[in-house]
Amino acid sequence: MPADEWIVIDMVDVRERTTPARTATSATAPAAIQPVGVPSLAALRTLAILRLATGFIFLWAFLDKTFGLGFSTPSDRAWIHGGTPAQGFLNSPAVTGPFKDFFVGIASPLVDVLFMLGMLGVGVAIMLGIGTRISAAVGSLIMVFMYLAEWVFTPLTSSTNPLVDYHIVYALALIVVAVFAGGDTWGLGRMWKNLSVVQKYRWLI
């Protein structure tokens, strides 16, 4: 090997042996960076809280109308005492607007059962974090029907916003939970998605 190459090797060897090793300290270590597209733990927990709160809104409505807990439904109008939760709403002055005749026409005991089963199913499923897609679809459909039945576009009605009232907000909350897999945190979403039937029929997610 030529002498000039030996000199270069010796210089590199000396430099490596004499340069102190640099260790990462709290002052020099780079801060942890959240990978792009990966939600933080705080975001996941916030989504879980939104899921639980939204699910409880539907579950509470079912419980109050079934047992007449006295908040929106008095005891004598409870479903278990012969009350008509859906018919009572559809035949009330709260239903106005161009679709009034349609909603009054569909008022029946069958609609009572479908409405109550929908509120119970959506409430329980969303709180457990299972079947969030179909629950979001059913819950949003119920909210849109109620939104159209009350026809919030009429001034001086119960709504203070003609475009985005609580029906729309609840529907959007359901959609957010379903789209972002809100049932995986503080819920049974992961276990549910691993079931063979859910693997086969993905709409059950």
Read off the pLDDT of each residue in 7-33 and give the average, rounded to a whole number.
Answer: 47
Q: Who's near 8: CB < 8 A, 6+ residues apart?
A: none
**More reliable by pLDDT, 138 or 150:** 138
Inform me whether the pLDDT recorded for 139 exceeds 60.
yes
pLDDT in tens, 147-200: 999 998 877 666 778 889 999 999 999 999 999 999 999 999 999 999 999 999
What is the rounded average pLDDT for all residues in the chain? 87
Name which of 36-50, 128-142, 153-167 the model is least confident about: 153-167
Q: Residue for token digits 């029946």?
A: 108
| Distance of alpha carbon 159 from alpha carbon 8, whole angstroms | 83
Output the pLDDT for position 24: 45
Q: Who's near 73: CB < 8 A, 6+ residues apart?
A: 64, 65, 83, 85
**More reliable by pLDDT, 177 or 6:** 177
Q: Please give the full DSSP string across 155-199, using - where no structure is assigned.
A: TTSS-S-SSS-HHHHHHHHHHHHHHTTGGGSSSSHHHHHTSHHHH
Q: What percent of the chain has pLDDT over 90?
A: 72
Read off the pLDDT of each residue in 117-137 and give the average, rounded to a whole number.
Answer: 98
| Identity of the residue numbered 191 | M
Q: With beta carbons less than 8 A apart as the criterion, state whether 62 and 68 touch.
A: no
Output the pLDDT for position 197: 96
Read off the pLDDT of each residue in 15-39 and give the average, rounded to a whole number.
Answer: 54
Output the pLDDT for position 9: 41
Q: What percent of the chain has pLDDT over 70?
A: 80
List the domain boundaries for the chain: 41-204
Read off the pLDDT of each residue in 82-104 and give the average, rounded to a whole number.
Answer: 95
Read off the pLDDT of each residue in 61-73 and give the average, rounded to a whole number.
Answer: 96
Q: Who's near 180: CB < 8 A, 6+ residues apart?
A: 39, 47
Q: With beta carbons less than 8 A apart as the criterion, state whether 116 and 85 touch.
A: yes
Q: pTM for the whole thing? A: 0.81
Output the pLDDT for position 19: 47
Helices and strands of the chain, counted as H and E runs: 9, 0
**More reliable by pLDDT, 21 or 53:** 53
